[in-house]
Amino acid sequence: MSTTAPAKVDTGDLILALDAGGTMTDAILVKPDGTFTVGKSISRKEDQQRSYRDSVADAAQSIGLTSEEVHKRLAADVYCGTGMLNTILTGDGRKVGLLVTRGFEDLTVMEGGLSYLGQSQAESLHQQLHKHTRPLVEPKNVLGVSERIGGGCYLGEIHLPAGHVLIPLNEDQVISGTKKLLEEGCEVIGILFLYSFVDPRHEHQAKGIAEKIIKDKGLEIPVVCSADVAPVAKENSRLKSLLFQCFAAEQVRASLLDVEKAARELGFDGRLLTLLSYGGAVNMDYTRLYETMISGPVGGLIGAQFLGNVLDLDNIVTADMGGTSFDVGLIIDKRIGIAKSADIAGHRLALPMVELDSAGQGAGSVVWVDEYKRLHVGPESAGAAVGICLNYDRLTVTDINVALGYVDPNYFLGGQVKLDKELALKALKETVADPLGLDVYEAGAGLLQIINTEMNDLLRTMIASKGYDTHDFTMLYYGGAGPVHMYGFAEGIEFKDVITIPWAAGFSAFGAACAEYMHRYDRGTRALIPNQSGDDHLAKIAKDIHTTWREMEHEARIQMKAEGIDPATVTFRYGVSARYMGQIESFNTALENGVMDGPNDIQTMIDAFETMYSKVYPEGAKFGSAGYSLTDIHLEAIADKPQPKLLRHELSNPEPDPSAFVEKRDVYHKDGWVSFNVWEMGELKAGNTVKGPSIIRDPMTTVVIPPNKKMYIDEYLILHYS
Amino acid sequence: MATIEKEVLNQPNMTAITAPTLAEAVEKRDRLTKATGHYYGVEELSLKEADPIRYERFYSKLHSAVLAARESARYVAASPGSREMGECLWGVTTAEGDTLAVSLGFLSHTAIFPVAIRYMAANNYDVNDGIEDGDVYGVSDGLTGGVPHPADFYSFVPIVVEGEVVAWAVGINHLMENGAPVAGSWATFSVDTFMDGLVVPPMRTGRKLKQESWWKAIWERRTRAATMNILDDKMRLAGCAMIHEATHKLIAEFGIDYYKQAIREVIEESRRRVVDNMKSTMVPGTYTGAAFRMAQYKGLQTIWSHADKNTLIHIRASVEPNEDGLKIDTEGTSRWGHHAYNATPGASDAAVFLGMINSFSHNTKVTAGIELAVQRNYPKGSILNPDSEFTSNANPWAQTVTLNNIGFGAVSRAMFSFGYLEEAFCIDGNWGAWQGQGTAEDGTGYGFTNFEWLGGSSRGAWCFKDGEPLVWAAWSQMATIGDAEEFESTVPPMFYLGRKLLPGYFGAGKYRGGPGQSAVHWCVEPGKHIGITRPNGGLSTTASVALGMNGAYPGPSSFMISARGTNLDEVNAKGLAPRDARELLEMTDSGLLKVDDLKVWKTDCPELSMGHNDLFVDAAGSSGGWGDPLERDPSAVIADLNSGTCPDYDFVNEMHGVVAAQDERGSWSLDVAATEIKRAALRQARLDDSVDVKDWWEEEREIVKNAAFFPEVGLMYNESLSFDKFRNEFTSFWNLPREFNVLEG
Amino acid sequence: MSDDISISKGIIEQLVDGKIDDDNLERLLKLPKKDSGRFFKYIEVLQDKVSWKDKILLRLSDKLYIVSKGPGIRITKCECGYEFGDYRSNWKLNSKIRVRKTAEEMKAVYDPTPAVPEAGWQEIREYFCPSCATQHAVEVVPPGYPIVMEMLPDLDKFYNEYLGKPLSDASSDWYQDKTSDTTSSWK
């Protein structure tokens, strides 16, 4: 499919977005009035076309349309998945060959020694558990090339400047190396040289040579430079980014284009989009496709950002509890927080990635007691088998919710699936209550409290570890199980507000539908700003930033045009990474605009940095007297893409209609039996306030409101918990 | 108590008036613990029993506060070591300094926290000057703070409630430069504490979570990397401030009474678990180990005549699992000397607990509990517990690491015999680093340390498979060597020509150790001057421990090479610069690389002035093997030949008795029949070339009687023989009179 | 989950033979607490491997065992059947020794050259089984260093208190180092 195929952005009145998760593929179909419907199908990794078709069909029929009718009316079609991660995990990617700076041939084996990534403190402490990840390239296919470029030193221009050529590129070694890699049958060649993020000239020179050899041999083998995939400091992380792109991205591109094919066969004539790990949607021709690795969870964060804009919330912490994991994310100043280091499947990438913490605990997580009578939750999960109450052989969190009465066994997925409460109770008694010598309901309540506390702590840590204060945050819960536990997760943490949404289960897919069409551009730099800097020095730096931004804007317009977007409609966001001189960590600093004409604009930039820094660290940690340095200049280019609208509803009176009342149900809540009112989500109206003890049921989820708490439904049908 | 008087004046407060002094608190803690054998006399975990969920919630809050402090604060750092490597740590302790929770990082420092607190208590810091909430104390002295070496800098922040110190927030990191005559973070060739650089006994440097202005001046005037050190200082404080706030909130939430009882139970609970772990995995008995290190000063350090000599340091230790955990006895270890390698009990603990925490704390709460489970004997006067207050503690890690190797190694043997083979591997701790100072062309002065090889090392062979390269760091749970692109930017004129694994650099055995690392640093336009030294980590001039595992060879020594005055421009033009120590030696042998002044350093080098195109090459991180080399699977040997892990066919042919042929494409294939014959021949040679130990003993005994040793060896024996336990072992083994002494050779 | 985990004999055999896969290894390392039944299964696996019938009491190293030769007799024995005598006297004293003293001799076992121990300050001792020539131990020590008794187990304490299965010939005087008895008999 040609990159110039026009994106379908003008006509069409439906938006479709899917999240192909580990167990389910959720589809969200947004109707012209901004309302939407959810569809589901079992995820089929081996046949994503099918799970796509099934899920969309499910969503379509619920509003009386066929899949074809839907596709013909689509304005945008967003598809998130976990395909790339699977390729990395299963190791069935492309055969990669690497050319690296001579003397660094062992880079891929050494991995910088990072052998504990993704481990808990207890695990990394037990060093016998440290291990290297499966290499994404055979060591013998990593060849050295003599060349060296200097990166400058932290004390500034007291020695050779950044970009100084110490050893010119040895072209003969590039030629012989390329030939050897081709002989070895490599399907893609990556190039990583030291400090290419400062000056890519050697990488590009080598790429030219390699491509010529490949062409002369009549082959079609891509050559990828680290400076083009991830032009940022730290060779170990840059290498991983390069490897992900070479090893996995290209073939995942194929399967995504496959899904796009399905969409087109069903009548869609636009481009299928997917999500970047730092937000934003791109089509399947995006160069750095490896950046779309965690598109699923990103969807949720984008949805949260969308809500934030609608409800005017600056800071949001999100908690997504699905079947197998509990993901916590942050929105700061209406922006999706970007993590310092992107660790995935034992690899540390040089990639901006949303702030996302994850615990291997979801509704399907197994609950057990060890011989020290310590309670454990997860990491094993029943996934789609739900628990003993359905067809799994071990006790899960959902079993407990069913056993205690929170979840209606006869209304799971709207009653399509019947759960067995008795089995759940029996298992709870045998696995937990008896070993601990507790009453079965006490045990269940205790377990829920532990789970809630752990999640509660993960939330605190996530926020505290970034140095933020919970009082400045709105807490947003989603995922099938989020609303069931929100009362517990939120306990004891003072948030500005605690909210959830009726369509919590499909929120990640909804978020994908909200994604803006955005490309991010980063460029490493080494600009120093000593305090006594003269205006001419500042002007020089300003000019450099100015030029870089203008180049990025240009590049963005060209790329987006190629993706079928009218360059005139592209808008931009500007930022830099800065630090006190001497620091090695840089801090992402967002700027109001892209104006960088002279010394004053540099001062504005420094002020923005100080403001951001003070938010994270105590007064004692500031160090303005050391001067500042810039390490990265970046830009986000945004194109128009239709967005779902949240409908404003007329507020009716606080009392829910009697029609919304379903029944009274006894629930063992905390330390005793409580009679809860059960309400039907679909029947509740904007303006209603549901007082606890209550449960709001919905085919996709269950919202629990304990005694003395209440849930207010606002004009957008957002549920506010207090 | 000043703080209390103030409170009394402001608002009379009975709790405050009755608050115990630090000294009283420490005395009570010791009395109750000693009397009952349970920490603080806690015989029942009543809070845990009564409401386990609340109890766990209490701890997880305390713990996550400390984890969070690190995750946030480390980004303030200037040194790669703190930011990405494991070279930093935060913790929260009881009023007496007993650890309650620690962050990720170099955990064994937890064992040291009590030393500074107890010093402050014994010297009435709280009574005299008064200790107030949010004060900031700095510590980097080995004797009064237990600090392993002065570059490991500690910050303590007291948490005071109702006039009583109830906890301390602690932050530590490894400074890159600490202002000694020898620049960097290990003052090599230091002969007493006055040459160790910036050494501060516990002293208040700030109030209300903010450093006082004078403190900045200390970093600026007394160290060569002020910017880095000030940022590291701010980093430690930032983390402590977060722990300080979180702990106050915790106490407000649970109440001070719950807090005071819970912290005692937390430590007692983990003590019990650790003891249980030890008793259920270690075969009781006595495990003995030894290690040696040469301190080569003679002719290299001639200014201080009393220190102008070589010392062969002997580390001897036995490990005995028992009812209360296990006992480590280091009697027989060398006496302290006028060199940089003396430890203190604190520094020794920091080493001993590396392996202990790794082995016995990973499935429980990491607290001071484990310190009660390990009884340590560091005889007064030994290098681990000097009877002089002026000894240099500039680089004890260079020898105490072997104390960990011996202790951790004993755990491996004990678990091997018990059948828990999955835990058993050959323990090494062979680190390296380089450091120095320089002056740029424009006159700017700077100091630096590149401790990439402190970030990780290979793992020794397991008892069932080969060790892996660069996969752990004995002294930190976070193996990470950082990035060349970062370290290079901290030393203006030095550039990497190689940073890789060193082929063949490991102990051989049925299973081999993982190969160690080697880097080539190239000096380009040094400016006015650059001088480099190397604190030779791990062991030097000998294997990393004296005993191989079950017939294998222990990990080889770390070393470095200086190549000054080279024809590097020609070599670079050919694109053939040396990439590691082995290549450098091969290229100088072949004449491809011409070097005016080539030196191999197996112990610390004095400052080396580097000129344009000079090279500085190091090797570290090697590890030992496991089992008889002749038992090695021949196909594994072939694989190592083909991957280049073992570059020397003749070597493996003799070591493993493997015969192989190489095809024109350079790949090796096994000759099964010839291998069997070769192995049989090597076995026969073993019997032919060896003698009965009895015969050897008789000859060797004459040498011992006549002390026909190198002088360093004789001096080593004399020092160790001054401790009865070793004297008994030595004289009874050689069947010599009890009063025997080795004459200085 | 609340009962003691049990590890199959097959897994233990894989460990002993160096055939264990990484997943099983990780499982073993991640056990919340070690399986208490390990020791006797381990001994079974080892007993199956040796050609002789003497009861293995403990595995000292890859191919060295402490075995019972009947009441009151506990000796160190090589997998090949060679007997080193009373386990309380360092078995090394009844083995054969080869000592590498010169740099040349040491180069054969360490590589590259700078990694070789310093002759005169160190020597490398290799201890062989006089019968099968297995290299049971290596010492890298200064000349004159007493041969190291690497491990003296307290067998009775182990069997009584740790395993709860006292040995028939248990007695208080087993746990002592008798090495010097041997050397004193030499001169």
pLDDT tens track for A503-523: 888 898 999 888 877 888 888
Q: What is the pLDDT of residue A1?
A: 25
Q: What angle do CA A374, A378, A383 make, to 5 degrees?
A: 150
Contact assignment for C30 to A370 by CB distance below 8 Å:
no
Residue C28's closest chain A neighbor by CA? Answer: A129
Question: Could you give the ipTM of this predicted complex?
Answer: 0.94
Residue B502's closest chain A neighbor by CA? Answer: A106
Other CB atoms within 10 A of residue B590 CB: 8
Choose among C112, C162, C180: nearest Cβ to B505.
C112
Contact assignment for A153 to B470 by CB distance below 8 Å:
no
* Beta-ladder partners of A181: none
Side chain identity at B337, as an amino acid letter?
A: G
Nearest-Cα distance to chain C for A47, in Å, is 28
Report the distance separating Cα B195 and Cα A306, nearest Å.
61
Nearest-Cα distance to chain A for B67, in Å, is 8
The structure tokens listed for A482 are: 């989020």
Q: Quick one: average pLDDT of B256-284?
A: 97
Report the distance separating Cα B501 and Cα A107, nearest Å.
9
Select the more confidently predicted residue: B665 or B502.
Answer: B502
Q: Is the peptide bond before B150 cis (omega within 30 degrees of 0)?
A: no
Q: What is the pLDDT of residue B15?
A: 44
- The region of weakest confidence among A62-76, A364-378, A674-688 is A364-378
Res. A437 pLDDT band, cuts 50 70 90: confident
> Residue B498: phi, psi to the nearest 5?
-170, 145
User: Per residue in C59-73, pLDDT tens?
Assistant: 999 999 999 999 999
Q: Quick one: average pLDDT of C125-149?
A: 98
Q: Does C3 touch chain A (CB under 8 A)?
A: yes
Residues 705-734 of B with CB under 8 A from C: 709-710, 712-713, 716-717, 729-730, 732-734
Residues 30-49 of C with CB under 8 A from A: 30, 32-33
Pick among C23, C29, C35, C121 to test the B interface (most B CBs inside 10 A): C121
Choose among C26, C29, C32: nearest Cβ to A370.
C32
User: Which residues of chain B have a CB within 8 Å of the CB of A235?
Assistant: 483-485
Q: What is the pLDDT of residue B538?
A: 66
3-class secondary-structure state, position A75: strand
The structure tokens listed for B14 are: 């009975």
Residues 111-170 of A with CB under 8 A from C: 123, 126, 128-129, 131
Q: Does A99 touch chain C (CB under 8 A)?
A: no
Contact assignment for A371 to C4 by CB distance below 8 Å:
yes
User: Per residue in A186-223, pLDDT tens?
Assistant: 999 999 999 999 899 999 999 999 999 999 999 999 99
| CA A454 vs CA A225, A435, B354: distances in Å | 43, 22, 29
User: Residues A339, A343, A345, A349: is their CA dihedral positive or negative?
Assistant: positive
User: Which residues of chain A have a CB within 8 Å of the CB of B482?
Assistant: 112
Beta-carbon contacts of A539 under 8 Å, excluding residues fewer than 6 positions away, are A598, A599
Residue B281's closest chain C neighbor by CA? Answer: C34
Contact assignment for A370 to C1 by CB distance below 8 Å:
yes
Q: Quick one: average pLDDT of B201-226?
A: 95
> Residue C179: phi, psi to the nearest 5?
-55, -40
User: Per residue in A452-489, pLDDT tens?
Assistant: 877 777 777 667 656 566 778 999 999 878 888 888 88
Q: What angle do CA A244, A246, A249 make, to 5 degrees?
A: 65
Report the distance separating Cα B54 and Cα B75, nearest Å.
33
Global confidence as pTM: 0.86
User: Which residues of chain A have a CB within 8 Å of the CB of B472?
Assistant: 115, 127, 130
Q: What is the pLDDT of residue A6?
A: 33
Report the distance separating Cα B613 and Cα B566, nearest Å.
6
Beta-carbon contacts of A167 under 8 Å, excluding residues fewer than 6 positions away, are A146, A147, A148, B572, B575, B577
Report the distance separating Cα B496 and Cα B579, nearest Å.
9
User: Per residue in B9-30, pLDDT tens?
Assistant: 344 344 445 789 999 999 999 9
Q: What is the pLDDT of residue A610?
A: 93
User: Per residue in C168-177, pLDDT tens?
Assistant: 999 988 999 9
User: Which residues of chain C have a CB within 8 Å of the CB of A123?
Assistant: 30
User: Which residues of chain B have a CB within 8 Å of the CB of C63?
Assistant: 628
Choose among B284, B416, B510: nearest Cβ to C162.
B284
Residue A146's closest chain B neighbor by CA? Answer: B575
Q: Does C104 touch chain B (CB under 8 A)?
A: no
| CA A341 vs CA A117, A120, A586, A691, B454: distances in Å | 11, 16, 12, 43, 21
Q: Does B155 touch chain A (CB under 8 A)?
A: no
Compute, in degrees rounded to 10, the torsion defined by CA atoms B410, B412, B418, B419: -160
Residue A133's closest chain C neighbor by CA? Answer: C22
Q: Quick one: average pLDDT of B438-464?
A: 93
User: Per residue in A365-413, pLDDT tens?
Assistant: 888 876 556 667 776 777 667 888 988 888 999 999 999 999 999 888 7
Q: What is the pLDDT of residue B517?
A: 96
3-class secondary-structure state, position B382: strand
3-class secondary-structure state, position A474: strand
User: Per residue in A555-604, pLDDT tens?
Assistant: 999 878 876 778 988 999 999 999 888 776 778 899 999 999 999 999 99
Contact assignment for A104 to B237 by CB distance below 8 Å:
no
3-class secondary-structure state, position A468: coil
- Are residues B465 and B632 in contact, defined by beta-carbon separation less than 8 angstroms? no
Report the distance separating Cα C170 and Cα C154, nearest Å.
11
User: Which residues of chain C have a CB within 8 Å of the CB of B717?
Assistant: 144
Q: Is the peptide bond before A139 cis (omega within 30 degrees of 0)?
A: no
Res. A364 pLDDT band, cuts 50 70 90: confident
Nearest-Cα distance to chain C for B93, in Å, is 26
* Beta-ladder partners of B318: B288, B329
Q: DSSP 3-state helix, strand, coil percentages of chain A (rounded to 5)?
A: 40, 25, 35
- Are residues B184 and B198 in contact, defined by beta-carbon separation less than 8 angstroms? no
Secondary structure of A216-258 in HEC code, one letter for each residue: HCCCCCCEEEHHHHCCCCCHHHHHHHHHHHHHHHHHHHHHHHH
Res. B8 pLDDT band, cuts 50 70 90: very low
Nearest-Cα distance to chain C for A129, in Å, is 7
User: Which residues of chain B have a CB within 8 Å of the CB of C102?
Assistant: none
The structure tokens listed for A358 are: 């994850």
* Residue contacts between A and C (CB atoms, under 8 Å): 27
Report the distance separating Cα B589 and Cα B585, nearest Å.
6
Q: What is the pLDDT of residue A371?
A: 56
> In this prediction, what percent of chain A has a pLDDT beyond 90?
45
Q: Does C2 touch chain A (CB under 8 A)?
A: yes
User: Which residues of chain A have a CB within 8 Å of the CB of C32?
Assistant: 370-372, 374
Select the more confidently predicted residue: A309 or A355.
Answer: A309
pLDDT for A22 beyond 70: no
Closest by CA to B362, choosing from B286, B281, B292, B439, is B281
Chains with ≥3 CB–CB distances under 8 Å to A: B, C
Question: DSSP for B286-335?
Answer: EEEEEEEEEEE-TTT--SSGGG-SEEEEEEEEEEEEETTEEEEE-TTPPB
User: Which residues of chain C have a CB within 8 Å of the CB of A129?
Assistant: 26, 29-30
Q: Does B740 touch chain C (CB under 8 A)?
A: no
Contact assignment for B553 to C110 by CB distance below 8 Å:
yes
Contact assignment for C137 to B550 by CB distance below 8 Å:
yes
User: Per residue in A27-39, pLDDT tens?
Assistant: 999 887 777 888 8
Nearest-Cα distance to chain B for C72, in Å, is 19
Q: Quick one: average pLDDT of B208-224?
A: 95
User: Per residue in A520-562, pLDDT tens?
Assistant: 888 878 788 988 889 999 999 999 999 999 999 999 998 788 7
- Are residues B535 and B188 in contact, defined by beta-carbon separation less than 8 angstroms? yes
User: Per residue in B73-125, pLDDT tens?
Assistant: 888 877 777 777 778 999 999 999 999 999 988 888 999 999 999 999 999 99
User: Per residue in A223-277, pLDDT tens?
Assistant: 999 998 888 889 999 999 999 999 998 888 888 899 999 999 999 988 898 988 8
Choose among A126, A129, A435: nearest Cβ to C2.
A435
Q: Does B511 touch chain C (CB under 8 A)?
A: yes
Res. C89 pLDDT band, cuts 50 70 90: very high
User: Per residue in B654-663, pLDDT tens?
Assistant: 999 999 999 9
User: Which residues of chain A have a CB within 8 Å of the CB of C2?
Assistant: 369-371, 373, 435
Report the distance separating Cα B123 and Cα A633, nearest Å.
53
Integer-rounded Cα radius of gyration of chain C: 20
Nearest-Cα distance to chain B for A667, in Å, is 21
Q: Does C48 touch chain B (CB under 8 A)?
A: no
User: Which residues of chain A have a CB within 8 Å of the CB of B474?
Assistant: 127
Pick among B550, B603, B699 to test the C interface (most C CBs inside 10 A): B550
pLDDT for B499 beyond 90: yes
Instruction: Give the helix/strand (H/E) hosting A626.
Output: none
Q: What is the pLDDT of residue A10?
A: 43
Choose among A132, A340, A622: nearest Cβ to B468.
A132
User: Which residues of chain B have a CB within 8 Å of the CB of C153?
Assistant: 283-285, 417
Q: What is the pLDDT of residue B268?
A: 98
Q: Does B279 touch chain C (CB under 8 A)?
A: yes
Residues 491-520 of B with CB under 8 A from A: 491-493, 495-501, 517, 520
Q: What is the pLDDT of residue C60?
A: 97
